[in-house]
Structure 1
Amino acid sequence: MDQKNYEGSSNASGAVALDGNYFVVADDEENRLSVFEKGSEQTLKPAIALSRVFDGEIEDGKGCEIDLEGAAAIGNVYFWIGSHSTNKDGERRPSRHRLFALQIQRNAAGEFSGQRYGRIYRTLIDDLILDRRFKPYRLDKAVGIAPKASGGLSIEGLAATPEQSLLIGFRNPLAGGTEKNGRLQDAKALIVPLLNPLNLLQGQTATFGDPIELDLGGYGIRDIAWRQGDEYLIVAGPYHANEDRSEKHRLYLWHSNKPTHKPKRLDADLGELNIEAAFFFPGQTDWVELLSDDGDTKGFQCVSVRL
């Protein structure tokens, strides 16, 4: 396991590789993206301000954060998703109900910039509520419950598939389970396949696959990353706040062609790391990059784990 500290983004929450040397990171408290060079300590300037890329549709300021939580790439189109959650007090935040994409370019001076790709999709949860297949997850109730409470709503994982669809991973709500001492036990994590993301952002109606429930030992999904073929790496963690850090994050390998099979848990000691994002550099499927949001205002840790 190789660990590096990066400065310039203090609340890393989603990340994706741009190529074999550069990766882009979202901050869940600011509507901006930061580009880093592998192994270099500081972010490259300028950051990509989403309020400029999506002029008038994304704003900065208190209560306007998208709470970016997941990232995925389909070709040269980079998708980002908000948590779709309320704030910690259960107050609704429409700014978090967003799935959008942009293309990222680098100029001759080495500066990165973004250009929007199509529209911003704002009605994911509304569309799922209208789809009878998702009725058991009570998303109509979850949308008004705090994200780390039992039955609340929080999206944290996003992965692209070789078929150019997206897998949307929920930290909360979980499926099934039983209440014990105020906590949900033995529930399964939810994945929603979004089958037409590229066309969706060009104006088509959303098309979903059947819901997928995964046994992650009662944990929800913190991130998903496509590895190779039909194989994905999943970062799993408790749905609740876990304030005492008593429940450790886990890594799993899952094969999408066997959706009902229990994912394989990996023997990886992540210690006290609070993993928020995972990605692979192109062609480096034996090493996964894990980003930890540890509340450090100076930056974040990136841990490379050999699989």
Structure 2
Amino acid sequence: MTTNTIQEKKYFGISNPSGAVALNHNLFVVADDEDNVLRIYDKNVPDKPLQTISLSAVFKGIIADGEDLEIDLESAAEIEGIYFWLGSHSSSRTGEYREARHRLFAINIKAGVKGKFTVSPAGGIYTSLIRDLQDDSRFDRYHLGKAKKTHAKGLGGLSIEGLASTPDNGLLIGFRNPLSGGDIKKGRLEKGKALIVKLKNPFEVIHELKAKFADPIELDLDGLGIREITRRKNHKYLIVAGPYHENIATDDHKRKAFQLYKWSSKSGKLNHLKKKELDSLNIEAALFYPDNDDCVQLLSDDGGLAGANGFRSLSLTL
């Protein structure tokens, strides 16, 4: 199955987009994993953001800015006009625990005066996702206690990069790492399956109630982890899959290209969308606009490119 390219653009202001969601038919809000700031762009104006939102100002005294305090925001999802955001829950490069990254929270984003939006908290911040999963024996085989102390992109590390809504107002949480099963060859895991966790009660956990999870979901993405998951409509999703590791070419390993999959959470059907145009992209965000679930906008984290002063966007019909 193939897709058709619609348009490629470049936006300025940040180079590391790492989660985005549409606000209306023309605007999207995007996170940068290097700071605790959200930015609103017009999809038709490849320029600097129309508005910036400091999360430390929204959650005063709770979210702070500074070294090692970035949430490492990775994905977003909208449920009934409320916008949920998720941190990576990963450790530092040396395996040190980073408390600030263990966050799931929700905000209201409302149109205000003079084209600006007002932003306010929609509840508190949920910080015990990994601990709650560790307390649930269904997730024992993922060894999350060890994973959270391991380099995020190492074997058995911990990194969460996907978040999507469900028809019953839950959230699907997609793991880049760890993967399940597979074989270790020349220092890398091959043929592992990607993990999705359904959080059944996101509105309750941001009001300090106990988390409720469905059974773990494992998907065969050709050994890749989940780098983004976004809902198209009903039970249909688009998954961006990419390597769990640093993805640096070596004598033993080639660089891996990102892949797209269509998946139904109801039937379990999974289709690989082969697309050559993705080979040069480092996709960290994907979004659909209202009433247009056949066209996806993919955002590339271009912070690793020399002289990067923005990020690329590729729109595809599916």
Give the one of 286, 289, 299 matched to 1:291: 299
Corresponding residue number in structure 1 for 2:256: 247
Corresponding residue number in structure 2 for 1:8: 13
1:142-161 alignment, distance < 5 Å: 142-161=147-166
What SS is found at the alignment partner of 2:9? strand
**Aligned AA for 1:177?**
G
CA contact (8 A) 1:4 1:39 kept: no
CA contact (8 A) 1:34 1:43 kept: no
Corresponding residue number in structure 2 for 1:302: 313
1:34-113 alignment, distance < 5 Å: 34-113=39-118
1:158-169 alignment, distance < 5 Å: 158-169=163-174
CA contact (8 A) 2:12 2:49 kept: no
Corresponding residue number in structure 1 for 2:214: 209
- In the alignment, the residues of structure 2 paired with residue 38 and residue 272 of structure 1 have an alpha-carbon distance, to the nearest angstrom, of 21
Distance 1:111 1:43, change over 3 A: farther
Q: More deviation in 288-297 or 78-87?
A: 288-297
- In the alignment, the residues of structure 2 paired with residue 112 and residue 89 of structure 1 have an alpha-carbon distance, to the nearest angstrom, of 39
What SS is found at the alignment partner of 1:280? strand
What SS is found at the alignment partner of 1:265? strand
Question: How many percent identity over aligned positions?
Answer: 52
- In the alignment, the residues of structure 1 paired with residue 95 and residue 118 of structure 2 have an alpha-carbon distance, to the nearest angstrom, of 35
| Deviation (angstroms), 1:25 | 0.2
| Deviation (angstroms), 1:31 | 0.1
What SS is found at the alignment partner of 2:207? coil
1:112-123 alignment, distance < 5 Å: 112-123=117-128
1:238-277 alignment, distance < 5 Å: 238-244=243-249, 246-259=255-268, 261=269, 263-269=270-276, 270-277=278-285
- In the alignment, the residues of structure 2 paired with residue 257 and residue 64 of structure 1 have an alpha-carbon distance, to the nearest angstrom, of 38
| Deviation (angstroms), 1:172 | 0.1
- In the alignment, the residues of structure 1 paired with residue 256 and residue 16 of structure 2 have an alpha-carbon distance, to the nearest angstrom, of 20
**Aligned AA for 2:258?**
H
CA contact (8 A) 1:48 1:113 kept: no
- In the alignment, the residues of structure 2 paired with residue 89 and residue 106 of structure 1 have an alpha-carbon distance, to the nearest angstrom, of 42
- In the alignment, the residues of structure 2 paired with residue 48 and residue 225 of structure 1 have an alpha-carbon distance, to the nearest angstrom, of 22
CA contact (8 A) 2:124 2:207 kept: yes
Query: After the TM superposition, which segments of 4 or more aligned residues of structure 1 sit over 6 Å from their partners?
Result: none
CA contact (8 A) 1:292 1:300 kept: yes
Corresponding residue number in structure 2 for 1:136: 141
| Deviation (angstroms), 1:45 | 4.3
- In the alignment, the residues of structure 1 paired with residue 136 and residue 48 of structure 2 have an alpha-carbon distance, to the nearest angstrom, of 42
Q: More deviation in 45-54 or 120-129?
A: 45-54
| Deviation (angstroms), 1:267 | 2.1
- In the alignment, the residues of structure 2 paired with residue 89 and residue 43 of structure 1 have an alpha-carbon distance, to the nearest angstrom, of 34
**Aligned AA for 2:290?**
P
With the length of structure 1 as denominator, give the TM-score of the two structures.
0.97
| Deviation (angstroms), 1:222 | 0.2
What SS is found at the alignment partner of 2:100? helix
- In the alignment, the residues of structure 2 paired with residue 147 and residue 274 of structure 1 have an alpha-carbon distance, to the nearest angstrom, of 17
Give the one of 286, 289, 306 matched to 1:281: 289
What SS is found at the alignment partner of 2:189? strand
Listed as ranges, the gaps of 5+ residues in structure 2 are none
CA contact (8 A) 1:86 1:92 kept: yes
Q: More deviation in 104-113 or 37-46?
A: 37-46
Count matched residues. 305
CA contact (8 A) 2:179 2:192 kept: yes
CA contact (8 A) 2:237 2:262 kept: yes
Give the superposed CA RMSD.
1.1
What SS is found at the alignment partner of 1:109? helix
Listed as ranges, the gaps of 5+ residues in structure 1 are none
Q: Deviations over 1:167-212 (max 9, x none)?
A: 0000000011111111101110000000010122122211111000
Corresponding residue number in structure 1 for 2:177: 172
CA contact (8 A) 1:73 1:79 kept: yes
Corresponding residue number in structure 2 for 1:33: 38
- In the alignment, the residues of structure 2 paired with residue 121 and residue 26 of structure 1 have an alpha-carbon distance, to the nearest angstrom, of 18
Q: Deviations over 1:206-247 (max 9, x none)?
A: 111100000000000000010122110000001000023710
